[in-house]
Amino acid sequence: MRHRRLLTLFAALALFAGALAAQAPPAGQWYLLHQEQAKPSKVADFESTTKEFIALVNQHRATMPDFSFNCLQGEDFMYTFVVPIQGFGGVDKVMANFGAYMQAAGPKAAEIFSRSGASYEYTNEWVVAQAPELGYQPEKPRLKIEDAKFFHYSMYHLMPGKEQEADAVGKDFGALFRAKGVANGYNIYKMMMGQEMPTLIVEQWAKDEAEFHAEVAKNTALLAGADQPLFARAMAITRRFESVKAWARPDLSLPPMAKK
């Protein structure tokens, strides 16, 4: 969350918020995602300036009392900063908080931005919202998400107009997993703003990558092919599919401000 163009990009998101707000939004938590593609030769610089940014924000936390983020690192040096927000209005709030921080931090903030800008190649912002009715949470989950260090994202970039069909497939997946007693839960998010709309994102988690693959093998054996017709339905309405791995980076994250 450190690019100099960030406020302009937030403003662009806010500009489109009114039109999208007319659609029925998901009932779950919303997130603003800011991504930065670090240059392989500059990863150390990227991470060090991220830590400097976090330290400076903490010095001026009164200007951003509701601002926090979790950082995920991809295997391709893509760093994703996940900011909880309250609907599209939360984008405006983050923008305002960020402006107050920049004014309070002064030249030091600009100096960090200047150095960090040389360490990454690409930036992107998008907004997602969790759709609880499409996800699956077992009564006794094998692993709580807050204890996870590895995450896997299946990104279904849907054909336009196929959103309702995708919702139906998602609900049928949840019903199947409940019937089979699958121990691994998952979350589903809808992209509310971004270049790849419409998109559904399936989030799975584990302690590490090896455990993730081991659990996938267990689920495959347990389901015994019952999930294959559902995958076929999902792919029939998907224009592009992505599989993304990411690792939690608490050292590059900004926890919520402690409440008094």
Helix (H) or strand (E) holding 193: strand 187-193
Structural domain range at position 101: 6-129
pLDDT in tens, 138-175: 988 889 999 999 999 999 999 999 999 999 999 999 99
- pLDDT for residue 22: 40
Residue 257 lies in a domain: no
- Same domain, residue pair 10 and 125: yes
Domain boundary among 129, 146, 177: 129
126 CA to centre of own chain: 9
Question: In which element (H, E) is residue 93 found?
Answer: helix 89-105
Give the Å distances, CA to CA, from 259 to 17, 21, 70, 244, 256.
Answer: 29, 30, 18, 34, 9
Question: How many domains in the chain?
Answer: 2
Of the pLDDT bands very low, low, confident and very high (cuts 50, 70, 90), residue 4 is very low
For residues 116 and 135, membership in a common domain is answered with no
- Whether 68 and 146 map to the same domain: the answer is no
Task: Report residue 248 as tokens.
Answer: 């939690």
CATH code, 115 = 3.30.70.100
| Cα–Cα distance measured from residue 6 to residue 12, given in angstroms and rounded to the nearest whole number | 10
Instruction: Let me know if residue 233 belongs to a domain.
Output: yes
- Does residue 43 belong to any structural domain of this protein? yes
Last residue of a domain, one of 81, 113, 129: 129
Mean pLDDT of 196-201: 94
Give me the residues paired with residue 78 across strands.
37
Is there a single domain that holds both residue 123 and residue 140? Answer: no
Where a domain ends, among 97, 129, 161? 129
Nearest Cα neighbor of 169 from 241, 236, 239, 240 is 236
CB atoms within 10 A of CB 181: 10
Instruction: Residue 157: name the closest of 119, 126, 122, 118 by CA.
Output: 126
Residue range 63-116, pLDDT digits in tens: 888 899 999 999 999 999 999 999 888 888 888 888 888 889 889 988 998 898
